Structure 1
Amino acid sequence: MPLTRLVTEAFGVVTISLVIVLVLFSVLCILYSVYFQARIRRQGFAPLRYFNGPWIIRIALIFFAIWWCFGEIVRLSFLRQGRLLHFLTLKWQEIACKFYVLSNLGFSEPCLLLTLIFLLRASLQRRGSGTLSRRWNGKTASYILLYCIPLFVLQLIIILIGPSFNSGNFARKMPHSFLTAVVHHDDAALCTYPLLSTIVIGLFAILVTVYLLWLGRRMAHSVINKGLRRRVYWLIFSVTSFLPVRVLLLGLSVLSRPEHVLFEALVFLAFLVLLSCAGVGITMLVYCPIVDSLALRVIRDLEDTGRSDLNNDTASLVANQSLLEMSSSTSVARNSDASTKRGSISFRTMVRDDASTEVFEELSLFSPDSHRLVSSPPGSPPLPGRPMLHP
């Protein structure tokens, strides 16, 4: 039907557009993370290394998101129906659909969720637990791949061995939608979601949801900043609420065929749900921590600069005031000498010694050149000091 073809192409174009947006944002985050790590190493600012310790795992999170996005492009129906992939034979289109199920449902999607969990868990670890080291990043990457292996093996059994059950007696008990990943229509192989694969990923999503709820509760109690607590709530809410919705949509997709509008709508909504989770995860766990760390560095630099300027201005202000007082005391002493020429010499000596002692004690606290200032002759003009600045 022309209407079905039009709707399919519309869903495909929107899917590709959203994938391009997420990929561009992901590449920007990778460059931003590498730039921040290089800046920390070049300037040697050790305290900020703690905030960018799991930068390799953050890049791995972005890598799994990009991999999943390209897999979603491979499964699009309108690419096979006489458009871009018309040069592929029917056999290669079937292989592409099976590869999509293994790649997305068996590898990239579980690894994406596991990486997100490890990044959230790393934020609760103590500073001396080794999050800064490369060894922690390597061990975490190994754990992610290790935990993903059972899920990948189950999906591999369902995709490769499952269709062989149709030739045996077990096919009477197992519906066709539980095992197949390919449906033929108009000399094209269209991708579907086997119900067993959806059940496997659904069980995994339940474990992830329960663990994230427990982890989010711990993070909410440990975070004292309202902004950070709001980020944690958004991330936990988006993942724990969207994952069950995605599994439900994929499960309902078996009620329709890939050439129908209902199937395309359900699959597009399932794609949109997980795309939102990936976008929120990259924003909260990669982009925002780097921006906050750079803001802390800028604030620290401004505080150091302001403190240095304030100290210099204070020293200049005290020096200028001391010079003025010394000049005024010298003038008083001269006037005293002129007015008391017939008086006692001990009085003139007492006034001059008290003024010199007072100036020396005041300058010795702030100025290193106090001895030179005090030893200047009484008749010399005041030495030029730094102009008084507003602190």
Structure 2
Amino acid sequence: MPQTRIAADTLGVLTVCLVALLILLGVLCITYLFYFRCRIRSQGFFQLSYFSGPWIIRITFILFAIWWGIGEIIRLSLLRREGRLLNTLNLKWQETVCKCYIVSNLGFAEPCLFLTLVFLLRAPLHTMESGILSRQWNGKTAGYILFYCLPMVLLQLVVIVIGPTLHNNKKLPSYFTSTMNKTDQIVLCTYPLLSTLLLGIFAIILTAYVFWLGRQILKMVINKGLQRRVYTLIFSVSSFLPLRVTFLGFSVLSKPEHFQFEALAFLAFLALLCCAGVCICMLVYCPVADSLALGSLQDLEGRRRLDDGQNDTISLIANQSHMEESAGFSPSRSSDVSTKQRGSISFRALGKEDGSSRGPFVELSLFSPIEDATPPESPPLLGWPMRPSPSPHQ
């Protein structure tokens, strides 16, 4: 067996293993999301519903990542060897598989993955009525993702359908539109340069938009922990996506099963795999883990400080007015001390002496270390609006 074929098979096996790990991570995160929602409903953590709002879009993001990973496996020449799965298909069907791969991954899965990432980042910027607490938000967002992805699907279809005609008329070189490389026994998938250019334009537009979103979100965060998460997301999108497009573009300089092509294709796969893995951890796992830890803190503190005379109020921290009367602390200083002690998200329901109250909100100090806590002399921290707790009379 030629050395280049051994290298191609080795990279193919490694690709299958990495996709399996991505699928395992996705399944675990989906299970974690369902556990989070069940705990909110069973234990009455109504305030945490804010962080559970985009659960359908989070699952959708994971499903798009799994879809993309399966497509990368189907592309491999490893499955087209004698006696393998795709080798049972005739050459015509193998050509169809390569064309479907281009439309499915480069035209649908990857653009939908980018768009879902953008909508998850935009979620905190919405208002209460149209934001992630709205029952229609998940459905509308899913519709927007499919709608905005439709132009990419159509353009990739145009490349696949009209491409051979342009090549036959000698208007474009073959590597601009070719989706395959035929041999006597199998058909090997390639990346048309036009398809890669379309994906690159799409990635550039979304990367610029992610930079703008990151700037808006950084204005809302209140500690270094959240800032690190936002910077990690921005770095992942702005570095890994251009790398993938670059590697795919240079892959046209060689043919499948040549070491240069297989190495470039694997590096392009690895770039998007890292981006998807980082985004799943930052946008799915970490918010759920923080919220579950906060629910445990609230449960312990609620048992210790529950006031039987105030059954109409559910709070995730001690009542500030009670602390002000007993210890002489102001609400802002009391919140700062609590934040220093726990370093967690703090939910507050502030009220005035005359009985009128301001809308409750959540401070997004997501379990930052103690050294990242806000100094006592600083003004009260900004937060996002929250859904008010349900009345016990309902």
- What TM bracket, shorter-length normalisation? 0.7 to 0.9
Contact in 2 for aligned 1:185/1:259 (Cα 8 Å): no
Contact in 2 for aligned 1:180/1:193 (Cα 8 Å): yes
1:21 deviation in Å? 0.4
CA distance in 1 between partners of 2:149 and 2:179 (Å):
21
Contact in 2 for aligned 1:256/1:263 (Cα 8 Å): yes
1:144 corresponding residue in structure 2: 145
1:118 deviation in Å? 0.2
Specify the code of the residue in structure 2 equivalent to 1:152.
V
The DSSP-based 3-state class of the residue aligned with 1:134 is: coil
1:160 deviation in Å? 1.6
Residue deviations 1:159-184 (CA, integer Å, cap 9, x gap): 1221122333xx2x311000110111
Specify the code of the residue in structure 1 equivalent to 2:183.
H
Aligned pair count reads 307
Contact in 2 for aligned 1:50/1:127 (Cα 8 Å): no
Q: With structure 2 as the length reference, what TM-score do the two structures score?
A: 0.76
CA distance in 2 between partners of 1:293 and 1:17 (Å):
31
1:1-391 alignment to 2 at 5 Å? 2-82=2-82, 83-168=84-169, 171=170, 173-307=171-305
The DSSP-based 3-state class of the residue aligned with 1:66 is: helix
1:381 corresponding residue in structure 2: none
1:186 deviation in Å? 4.0
Specify the code of the residue in structure 2 equivalent to 1:95.
T
Residue deviations 1:291-322 (CA, integer Å, cap 9, x gap): 0100110111111223359xxxxxxxxxxxxx
CA distance in 2 between partners of 1:270 and 1:50 (Å):
36
Residue deviations 1:8-49 (CA, integer Å, cap 9, x gap): 111001000000001011001111111211222233321000
Contact in 1 for aligned 2:15/2:266 (Cα 8 Å): yes
Residue deviations 1:198-224 (CA, integer Å, cap 9, x gap): 000000010011001111111122111
CA distance in 2 between partners of 1:274 and 1:167 (Å):
33
CA distance in 2 between partners of 1:121 and 1:210 (Å):
14
Choose 85-94 or 5-14, whichever is displaced more.
85-94
Specify the code of the residue in structure 2 equivalent to 1:33.
L
Residue deviations 1:247-289 (CA, integer Å, cap 9, x gap): 1100000000002010000000000000001001111111111
Contact in 2 for aligned 1:51/1:289 (Cα 8 Å): yes
1:134 deviation in Å? 2.6
Specify the code of the residue in structure 2 equivalent to 1:218.
Q
The DSSP-based 3-state class of the residue aligned with 1:183 is: strand
The DSSP-based 3-state class of the residue aligned with 1:190 is: strand
The DSSP-based 3-state class of the residue aligned with 1:51 is: helix
1:185 deviation in Å? 2.3
Specify the code of the residue in structure 2 equivalent to 1:198.
T
Between structures 1 and 2, the one with greater helix share: 1
CA distance in 2 between partners of 1:143 and 1:186 (Å):
44
CA distance in 2 between partners of 1:78 and 1:55 (Å):
36
Specify the code of the residue in structure 1 equivalent to 2:121.
L
CA distance in 2 between partners of 1:258 and 1:123 (Å):
44
1:53 deviation in Å? 0.2
2:389 corresponding residue in structure 1: none
2:338 corresponding residue in structure 1: none
CA distance in 2 between partners of 1:283 and 1:124 (Å):
20
1:313 corresponding residue in structure 2: none
Contact in 2 for aligned 1:81/1:186 (Cα 8 Å): no
CA distance in 1 between partners of 2:9 and 2:298 (Å):
52
Residue deviations 1:215-239 (CA, integer Å, cap 9, x gap): 1111122111211110110111011
The DSSP-based 3-state class of the residue aligned with 1:303 is: helix
Which has more radius of gyration?
Answer: 1
1:384 corresponding residue in structure 2: none
The DSSP-based 3-state class of the residue aligned with 2:77 is: coil
Residue deviations 1:76-101 (CA, integer Å, cap 9, x gap): 01211223322111111111111100
1:128 deviation in Å? 4.1
CA distance in 2 between partners of 1:230 and 1:281 (Å):
13
1:151 deviation in Å? 0.6
CA distance in 2 between partners of 1:74 and 1:24 (Å):
18
CA distance in 2 between partners of 1:17 and 1:167 (Å):
39
CA distance in 1 between partners of 2:176 and 2:304 (Å):
68
Contact in 1 for aligned 2:237/2:275 (Cα 8 Å): yes
Residue deviations 1:326-384 (CA, integer Å, cap 9, x gap): xxxxxxxxxxxxxxxxxxxxxxxxxxxxxxxxxxxxxxxxxxxxxxxxxxxxxxxxxxx
1:124 deviation in Å? 2.3
CA distance in 1 between partners of 2:183 and 2:229 (Å):
45
1:133 deviation in Å? 2.5
CA distance in 2 between partners of 1:300 and 1:41 (Å):
15
Specify the code of the residue in structure 2 equivalent to 1:80.
R
1:344 corresponding residue in structure 2: none
1:315 corresponding residue in structure 2: none
